[in-house]
Structure 1
């Protein structure tokens, strides 16, 4: 009972099962990985070499047959310059029959060889003698033995009788329209049997002619796998058929105008059956042992699980958590709490940012003008602003003209949204304590807690991003470093006025000084011209005078403030 209470027996049972099951599984895996696989690959390589050797031997014998028949056919043409008839000399026919007998027995794969004269008195002569051909037989022979490859000989497939024949034109009198043919009929069964004898049982051997006509020997159930194959399937590969793996070999051979492909299909299971059976036994034993250990572990785990079950009942009630898997229930609850925590944190951060922005806006608008400097500093600390001795700065951004190569196709609402996000993101990179105080009509005021930063880098990055995304030039006005919070409204008003110091030119501008230039010169001569045109009612002259007046002002001083001053005076 001690082991059941402490869980010691449960742990020992698990360790014992590991010591037994792991070696069994390791042996099974080793057999599969390092014995079955190499055996199959070794057999495939050996079988591949054997098949290639057999195909090479078959090709050699057929090449010799082609040469022999070709030479004999040429000899026939030299000896017989006239048409061969049934009335030809008896001795000549006997001699031809004997020669055909020797030709037939010169190859293991030849079934018969005959000469067929399809002239006026059609007949055939083979090793057994001569025989007449009927009119129907003659028409059939002409169709079968017709050579259409532009040569004097050809391999042909006779599908009606499942025959493979070698036809040669031996008519010396009619090369274009031959009437005498030498025909060798191949014994396909002997060829297939020779090819199949090298394979193990339950396999298949096949030969295809031009990937259309197939001959099979062996397990005919595998024939459906060979027939769909095309000339692209060559070499050795493994095919899974009805859950069993088969080694497939395809070797191509070119015979005159045809492509012969030799196929073999060998079940790999027969090669590795003993080792596979041993591996399966080991796996089954391991699974049974694991099942027994699992049943015992469930029984023992139930004993150990009771305290956890009572705790879950106390936390979540007896009906809520039992409907689901307990661990999944805990994980879901933990993830739910994490999501809720993240949402609350985001809400708190947004609320805190809103409070920080609001207090700066109220200070800038003068709502806390009654507070002393020390009280203003304490107010910022209460709103999580860490001002300290660093002081602060204000940045004023104003969008200007479009870039020269851009079209005005953006909506103003989208422009302001993009501008706020760009300034907020870049400012956060350089100043950890910052907020956008106000934004309207392409103008944005930003409050930052001063840091030891290179302002030039900040201005360069923010203008580059605005030019790239908003496609407009921007003017930035930067205040001096300030430490007194009570001066914030004054600094903001002064900063907004300094925007008029920008020059009326299509480029980015950064203003950091407060000194105004001297007031621009006022052209009284141009004013008189304008007044004269106005009194006389010359509208065209009035337009030209005003245009010249403005051009002169901009040429002398192109600051926005100067232009505003002169226009107001005019």
Structure 2
């Protein structure tokens, strides 16, 4: 009996010695690590999204200004011809061209059109103009409300988002004209998702009560949240940010959701393990307490071993095991601190990038410094040093080797290490292939910038093996002038000498006016002739002669870029005139970007010839042997068969025959002496004349069959034939 009491006493002590420390560790872990981690993540998430949404808001504000500028221009054009029954062709062509520029003015813009809601409704697009039916007009009136007393408005139509400007409204005359610009909604969501954390989700409420997301349809539960906070949904914790954006008296609400459990998963696993061990120990000890009178005591350590289930650990030393687990938890905390530091660096980079891109031109130096300090800059000077560092494609050794992602990784790390050695506050931004911009605070650890530049060149030569060019400002720059000075640094690189050596300079050191007279028209003709003949030897000789003559006159990279750009424009014009798509040869941007990193004239000649002109010559000789006239005749035959098709338009036909609308429009004017819309009208009028003479159909029926209303058909017929349809039938029926 005494033995039983002793065993029970030992069991209770064991319960206290095991459960209480584990419970204490559980509470400590929850309140000292997990909760602070969740709060820090929520704060960083809110700060990051607020900054990104603010930047997007600025970009959309600029977009609205652009739309209103074009809309005002369109209104002025329309007002000049308001008293005429129909717009003249020169106005339609001008509006079409401006709509083309507007449609390609920004990455978010998908399409732009002008809609005339008159008795004879029609649409002007970048491809021309075409009439619309009364039913289509009614449908568009329901969507865009042309007579609404609001000049500017964003309209959300399911999968489509439009900016609408009502240019003209005369309700008493049943006439209205509006500009509608379709914004790429998918691209807008992609931009928002890019801003959000990994594994997160973004949703937007463009109209009150309706929330949209490209990642999930079950998001209606977000309606009840009006501010940023941590929420729990489906037994999971999420960081939720709610940002409001005012768009033309409309309120967009942007929700960003990021799971916090993934960030604190290691700590939660340890916490749950401690809780399981604690509860299991209590249960096991209670069971042992009951069974001790019947069985011999077995070490409690064996029970813990089974609960923990880690076969690789030392089962004889549970204390060291828990110490190891605690150290792993601290290591996870260090990793989270590293992630937080990387987040701070990303914030600094984002702010500097926005300043360089001109998003904060309205802020003073003091306000810009305050903005930097709010985003982990912690600086105290309004003046900055700037260095634009470029690794050229020209190798120091005779062995040519290409730079790759690993080279850029080494490039970034070398520059970062040296910046930490020379500057207190700095940030580096990748600015294209093998180029870095360093923005550092004017307060330096060392006195001279030249020493920093020479160290950068020395280390990059040693590790990467290519020549390096550095442009820098000769005196500290104010924050408000960063954007302008950055452009000068980039331009300065283009004025460097064509010499195989490291170079460093300021813009004032190297700037020279472009020598426009170095461009040889006769050498250009030889190059074009070599392309058309498909003679690679002739082409190589002409290219070499062209560039060597420029190099002899001027050894600056800028003049070589100038003549390359002009030569490209001549070749591009030749391609457009003969129906070659720009996708079939290198773009000017790629070519100029590549040349700007080559400081060897022979390497430039080889690149232009081998990578651009020879492939272009091959494509030319494969695709431009047949006449464009044959293609145009095929298109005209198609139009004659499909002229009753309601979908028939310049864009429809261009897509059908794999041409650009611009090229097709030009070919019509060139080979048919008319534009696309007039050509279709001529075909329809020819059919109308045949029906007027050969049938007894009513004129209204003929007009409707051809897609016209009576009034418009009568005006169009009289304009082309000089008489009304009725008079034409009367004159020709006599015979």
If the TM-score is normalised by the length of the shorter chain, which range does it land in?
0.3 to 0.5
TM-score of the aligned structures, taking structure 2 as reference length: 0.37
Q: Which of the two has higher C-alpha Rg?
A: 1
TM-score of the aligned structures, taking structure 1 as reference length: 0.47
Pick 1 or 2: higher relative contact order, CA cutoff 8 A, min separation 6: 1
